[in-house]
Structure 1
Amino acid sequence: AVPLGLVGASAVLLVLSALGACALDTYVAAVYEHNVILSEDTEVPVSPEEALMLMEKNIAILEVAIKEAARQGAHIIVTPEDGIYGWAFTRETIYPYLEDIPDPQVDWIPCADPGRFAPSPVLERLSCLARNNSIYVVANMGDKKACNSSDPKCPSDGRYQYNTNVVFDSEGKLVARYHKYNLFVTEKQFNYPKDPGFVTFNTSFGSFGIFTCADILYHDPAVVLASRLQVDTILFPTAWVNTLPLLSAVQFHSAWAMGMGVNFLSANTHNCTLEMTGSGIYAPDGPRAYYYNTEMDNGHLLVTELSSHQTASINKHSFNGVVYHDLFSFVELTESKGHRAICQQDLCCHLSYKMVKKHQDEIYVLGAFDGLHVVEGEYYLQVCTLLKCLSTNLSSCGQPVEMAQTKFEMFSLSGTFGTSYVFPEVLYSGVQLAPGEFEVLTDGRLISRTTTSKPVLSVALFGRWYEKDPPHTAQASP
C-alpha cells in the first residue's frame, strides 16, 4: 500500500508540473533533411511485404535522427515529405505503401494499442519512436480510404489515396492528420481532399498548424492557418526542388515565415541529382538554423531554440481607435522592444521593434485597418501602422500628433496585404521626413536602416485596394 501522504504529494507535483508546462516561453525544435532510400522501379508493383521492407529502411534512418534530436532536448522533430518511401509512383504502385489512418479524434496511441484498427506497422513504429523518446514526431506517409458508387467522386479503383502528414505527441498519441490539398502536378498517385483541411493542435509550447510542400504557394490552408487561426508555428514536410532565382527552398520558406509572422519548421528531402536540399528552422525575424548542401549525399539534423508564442499576442488586449473616420484595431507596445501583431478582417500586421529609450509619458501602438473609407470620398484601404498616441490615454490613439520624444533603434513592419499597391510612410517629430533612413525589402517589410535620427510620429504601410472601390460617382460623399 502507498501512504496517502505520498499520493497527495505526487498529485501536487503533477499539478505543479502541468502548470509549469503551460508556461513554456521557448522550446527546442528539430528538422531532419533525409536522403530517402528509393524503390528501384516505382512503375513495377511490389508486395506489401516488400513495400514495408523499404519503409523500414528509411524509418531506421529517421529513428537515428529522432533519438539524437531528443538527446539534444528537442520537443518536436519534423521529417520530410515522401521521406518514408520516395516519389514518382502510380496509383497502383503506391498502394502497398498506404495505411488507413484514422481521425485523431479516436484518441489512439498505436504503440500501446497496436491491434485497435487495420494493420498499421508504420503508424505503430512512428508512435513508438515518439513515445520512447518523449518527443513530438511529424512524418509524411500515405493514407487510403475506401469509397463506393454512392460517392459520385469515388475513383474507379474504389479508394481515395492521400498524401498525408501525421503528428504523434510525446506519449505516442496520434494528434494530427493532414491530407495535402494542393498536389504537385506529378503526384498522380494521390487524390486531393474535397475541402482544405485547417489542421491545428495545441501543446504546452505553443499552437501548431501543418501543411505540405506546394500548399505554401496558395491561400488555403496556408494563409488561413497563419492569419486567421493564428498558430505560432507551421510544420512543413516538403520535397522541394530548388528553383532559382526566387523559389529556392531556404529562400522562400524563410521569406514566408517573415511575411506571415510565424515560426516555420521546414524539413526537405535530400537528393542532389534532383536539386533537392534546403531545410530550416525559421522565425519571423529571420532564420534560426538552416541547411543547404548540393555536394554531400547524407542527411542532416538541425536543432535550435525558438520562442513559443509568435502570434499569441495577436489581438490580445486589443482596442479600437479612429484614424480619420476609420475604425482601426490597435494593440499597445507595452515594452521597449519586442514583436507585436494585430489583425482586422484579412489583414494581419506584424511589427518587430526596439526603442532607444521608452518615454513613460508616451504611448505607441500598432494598428490595422481593412475596409472601405466612406468620408469625403469612398475608397478601400488596407493599412498597417505604428503610431504615437496623442496622450497616455488609449482613447487618444489615432488623433493627430505633431511632436514626439521617442527614437527607435530598429523597426520592421509587414502585413498580409491583398493589394500590391502599398505605399511606405515614415514620419518624424515636427512632421519631418526621413530620407535614406528606411527601405522596403523584397518581401514587403518596411524596415529602418539605422537608428532614427529624430523621434517617430508614425510608420505605415498604406495600401490601396483599387479593385474593391465602389463604382465611380460624379462627386465624393458628403
Structure 2
Amino acid sequence: ARYSQTTVFGASAVLLVLSALGACALDTYVAAVYEHNVILSEDTEVPVSPEEALMLMEKNIAILEVAIKEAARQGAHIIVTPEDGIYGWAFTRETIYPYLEDIPDPQVDWIPCADPGRFAPSPVLERLSCLARNNSIYVVANMGDKKACNSSDPKCPSDGRYQYNTNVVFDSEGKLVARYHKYNLFVTEKQFNYPKDPGFVTFNTSFGSFGIFTCADILYHDPAVVLASRLQVDTILFPTAWVNTLPLLSAVQFHSAWAMGMGVNFLSANTHNCTLEMTGSGIYAPDGPRAYYYNTEMDNGHLLVTELSSRPRLSPDYPAAVNWSLYASHRAICQQDLCCHLSYKMVKKHQDEIYVLGAFDGLHVVEGEYYLQVCTLLKCLSTNLSSCGQPVEMAQTKFEMFSLSGTFGTSYVFPEVLYSGVQLAPGEFEVLTDGRLISRTTTSKPVLSVALFGRWYEKDPPHTAQASP
C-alpha cells in the first residue's frame, strides 16, 4: 500500500509539473529586430590593440543597448541584432583577431553576467549577457569566436587558430543558450574559417522552438533548409549584413519569400549602410510580412517590434503544401527543363516602361555557386531590351491581375512580389496549391518584379568549393 501511495503521489507530481509547463507555453510572442548603422573602424587593414578594439565594440553595443531596452519596454520576448553589428567588416585574419573572444559551448551552462571570471576574458559576452538579464529579454548578437588548434589537426591554419563568424543567444536570465558558427561564408570573409560541418543549432522556449543561421547561409541547403524542414523549428533568427541586389535578391524581398516558401517565422536584422546599399530588416510570418523596414535615405538605425504566432504550423491559416509544377502546362518561355507561364492584365501601361518574362535554369556563379530555377516578370531599366535584368527601384505601371507559374524540378520555391520603391505587398498575393503565384487584387503600387525563385540544392557543387574564401 505504501508503494502504491508513493506511485500515485509521484504521478500527481508529474501531472502538476506538466500542467505548469503547459500553462507557461505562449500562443503568441512579441518579436523585435534592430537595423543598426554600425560604427566602423577607420582602417580595417591596420592592426589595433585589444583595448582599441574593445572601445569600438563598446560604442556599437551602447547603441544596441538603447534598442534592447526599448524593445523590452514594448514587451518583446526576443530581439535580433545584425551580423557584423559590433565591429563591422572587411578585416584581415590578423586585424580581426583583437575583436575575437573564446566563446564556450552553451552546454557549460554559463551566465557571464553572474559569473564573469569563469572562462577566458569575455567583456563582450558579459555585456550582452547583462543586457539580456537586466532587461528580461532574449538577445541575439553576432560576434567573432577564436579556437586554438595545432599541427595534430591537419586543417589547422598556419596562425594556429580557427576564427569563426558567430551568432550567440542569451536567454532572459542572461544564460548563453546558443552558439552558431557561420557555415556558408561570403566570398569577401577572408578573416574567418568555416566549420568542418554545418551546425544545426536550435533551442526551445515557452514561446516556440528556434533555429539560427547567418546571411549567405539562406542561399544553401545546410543548415537553413534542415532547420526549417527536417527539424521544423517555429522561428528562424537571422543576423545579416545584406547588400541589396535587385531585381531578385533585395533583402526584404528574398527574406520574406524564404519565410513563405519554408513556412516559418523569420526574424531578419540587417546592418544599415546607405553607401553600400545595405538596408532591409523584417519580421516575417509564413503568410506574409508582419513588419519590415527599407530605407535608403536615412542614416540612423531602426527598431521593429510586432507579435507573431509561437507555433505557426498549428494555425488553421497555415499555408497548404504546394505542387510547384502542376499548373504550368501553358508553356510561354523555357530554358532547359524550366518553362514559365504568365497571365496578366495591366491597369494602364506607361509607354516608356517595358516588362519581360524571364526563365533561368542553371548554375548561378556570381559571389558563390548555387543552382537556380527562376521564373520572373520584371520591369526593365529602360525601353532598351538589353537593360532588362539590371537593378530598378521605381515603376509606374500597376497590374489588374497576374498569374505566374513554372515547371520546377525542385519543391524549394520562394514567391516574391516587389513594388515600386522596393516595397513589399503584404496580403495582395497568394500561392495556390497548383503552383500559381497570383494577385488577389489590383496592385496597390506599381510593380517592379514578380518571381518564383527556386533552389535546386541537389545540383549545387560541394560545400568546400562554394563557401571557402
Q: Calculate the TM-score normalised by the size of structure 2.
A: 0.67
How far apart in 2 are the matches of 1:136 and 1:394? Answer: 50
**Pairwise CA distance, 1:19:** 3.1
Distance (Å, rounded) in 1 between the aligned partners of 2:152 and 2:18: 53
- Cα 1:271–1:460 change in 2 (3 A) is closer
The superposition leaves residues 394-440 of structure 1 with CA deviations (integer Å, 9 ceiling, x where unpaired) of 99999999999999999999999753799999999999999999986
Distance 1:68 1:15, change over 3 A: farther
State whether residues 254 and 416 of structure 2, in contact with CA within 8 Å, keep that contact through their aligned partners in structure 1: no
In the other structure, the counterpart of 1:89 is 91
What is the distance in 2 between the residues matched to 1:410 and 1:66?
42
Name which structure has the greater RCO, CA cutoff 8 Å, separation 6+.
2
Report the CA distance between 1:477 and its aligned residue.
46
Evaluate the alpha carbon distance shift between residue 376 and residue 266 of structure 1 in structure 2; reply closer, same or farther with a 3 A threshold. closer
Deviation per residue, 1:103-151 (Å, 9 max, x gap): 0011100001100100000000000000000000000000000000000
Tell me: CA distance 1:72–1:24, structure 2 relative to 1, closer, same or farther (3 Å): same
Distance verdict in 2 for CA 1:364–1:16, change over 3 Å: farther
Q: For each residue in 1:57-115, what CA deviation from the matched residue of structure 2 results, as whole angstroms up to 9, or x when unmatched?
A: 00000000000000000000000000000000000000000000000011100001100
**How far has the Cα of 1:299 moved from its partner?**
0.2
Question: Could you tell me whether the CA contact under 8 Å between 1:259 and 1:415 is conserved in 2?
Answer: no
356-365 or 338-347, larger mean C-alpha shift: 356-365
Give the distance between the partners of 2:247 and 2:393, measured in 1 at CA. Answer: 44
What are the Cα deviations for residues 239-282 of structure 1, in whole angstroms up to 9, with x where unaligned?
Answer: 00000110000000000000000000000000000000000000
2: CA distance, partners of 1:419 / 1:102: 38
- Assess, with a 3 A threshold, how the Cα gap between structure 1 residues 148 and 390 changes in structure 2: closer, same or farther: closer
Aligned Cα root-mean-square deviation (Å): 13.8
Moved more, 137-146 or 369-378: 369-378
| Distance in 1 (alpha carbons) for counterparts of 2:51 and 2:423 | 73
SS in 2 for 1:443: coil
Of 373, 376, 391, which residue of structure 2 is paired with 1:385?
A: 376
**Greater CA drift, 433-442 or 102-111:** 433-442
Distance of 1:33 and 1:472 partners within structure 2: 30
Sort the Cα spacing of 1:42 and 1:369 in 2 relative to 1 into closer, same or farther, 3 A.
Answer: closer
Gaps of 5+ in 1: 1-5, 309-325
1:61 to 60, 63, 67: 63
Deviation string 1:292-322 (CA, Å, 9 cap, x unpaired) is 00000000000000000xxxxxxxxxxxxxx
Q: Using a 3 Å threshold, how does the CA distance of structure 1 residues 455 and 230 change in structure 2: closer, same or farther?
A: farther
Deviation at 1:23, TM superposition (A): 2.5
CA contact (8 A) 2:324 2:436 kept: no
Measure the CA separation in 2 of the matches of 1:149 and 1:302.
Answer: 47
Q: Contact 1:363–1:392 (CA<8 Å) still a contact in 2?
A: yes
CA contact (8 A) 1:104 1:177 kept: yes
Report the CA distance shift for 1:385/1:45 in structure 2 as closer, same or farther (over 3 A).
closer
Contact 2:286 2:319 in 1 (8 A): no
Contact persistence 2:428–2:439 (CA under 8 A):
yes
Could you tell which deviates more after superposition, 52-61 or 443-452? 443-452
Which shifted more, 202-211 or 420-429?
Answer: 420-429
* 1:363 CA displacement: 46
1:140 and 1:343, CA in 2 relative to 1: closer, same or farther beyond 3 A? farther
SS in 1 for 2:300: coil
Q: Quick one: percent identity of the two aligned structures?
A: 97
**Structure 1 partner of 2:314:** none
Say whether the 8 Å CA contact 1:145–1:160 is kept in structure 2.
yes
Deviates more, 1:73-82 or 1:362-371: 362-371
Mean Cα deviation higher: 370-379 or 418-427: 370-379
Change in Cα spacing, 1:339 to 1:40, as seen in structure 2 (3 Å) is: farther
Alpha-carbon distance, 1:40 to partner: 0.5
What is the distance in 2 between the residues matched to 1:24 and 1:365?
Answer: 46
Which range moves more in the overlay, 422-431 or 174-183?
422-431
Which runs of structure 1 show a deviation greater than 2 angstroms over 4 or more consecutive aligned residues?
6-23, 326-478
